[in-house]
Chain A
Amino acid sequence: EVQLVESGGGLVQPGRSLRLSCAASGFTFDDYAMHWVRQAPGKGLEWVSGISWNSGSIGYADSVKGRFTISRDNAKNSLYLQMNSLRAEDTALYYCAKDKLGFLEWFTFDYWGQGTLVTVSS
């Protein structure tokens, strides 16, 4: 059974940093691209960042480019999101999602975690 478990969320002050993690199991992690998607309270879905199977291809939404860094450790079956210079508008539930492909091509997410909540507030 595919499982994606996010962790690392919490309350953080504007301008500070936070690192999210996603532990994957139930599939061959290094065969697939992985993504972060967020959802602000009461709002729609926003793709944040994606990384190919071998970290050779990485993409970011314009809203987080230069502030967030995605990475993965295939030996640990883990995905990460380093979030710096956090803003109030980054407040959201952050989902980890598995792609159907290994490359950043389809952007089709067949499995999702339950999310970790990030709140940016003073």
Chain B
Amino acid sequence: DIQMTQSPSTLSASVGDRVTITCRASQSISSWLAWYQQKPGKAPKLLIYKASSLESGVPSRFSGSGSGTEFTLTISSLQPDDFATYYCQRETFGQGTKVEIK
């Protein structure tokens, strides 16, 4: 099975900061990677698919990049609504990255 590893596990940042989350796959997954945002008590929300395609309705401050085994999710200017937990996924999910207020 392919293992997905995210870093960091927790990230403290301020509104307006540029934030980057990394996801590594245990073997090459080409560009078959998705990113989700989850807020407490809510279902996950798809942000990015095929590594870099922005899901409809998702703000353009979110972007994804990478291929093979290393991927990144970038939030160009962190907004108050962005404090949440983020997961990468290729079948299995990464362990999550919690973005907290600094």
Contacts and interface: CB of A to CB of B under 8 A. Distances in A.
Interface of A: 37, 44-47, 59, 61-62, 95, 100, 105-110, 112-115
B88 to A, nearest CB: 10
Interface centre among A47, A62, A108 (most CB of B within 10 A): A108
A72 to B, nearest CB: 19
Contacts, number: 54
Contact of A45 (B32, B46, B49, B87): B87
A62 B49 CA distance: 24
Contact of B92 (A47, A108, A113): A47
B49 A100 contact: yes
A65 to B, nearest CB: 11
A108 B46 contact: yes
A109 B93 contact: no
B50 A106 contact: yes
Interface size class of B (residues with CB under 8 A): 20 to 34
Chain A facing B: main interface SS: loop
A61 B93 CA distance: 11
Contacts of A61: 92
B34 A108 contact: yes
B87 A114 contact: no
Nearest to B96: A44
A93 to B, nearest CB: 9
Given A62-B1, A107-B32, A112-B45, 18 more contacts: A37-B44, A44-B93, A45-B44, A45-B87, A45-B96, A46-B92, A47-B89, A47-B91, A59-B91, A61-B92, A105-B32, A106-B32, A106-B34, A108-B34, A108-B89, A109-B36, A109-B46, A110-B46
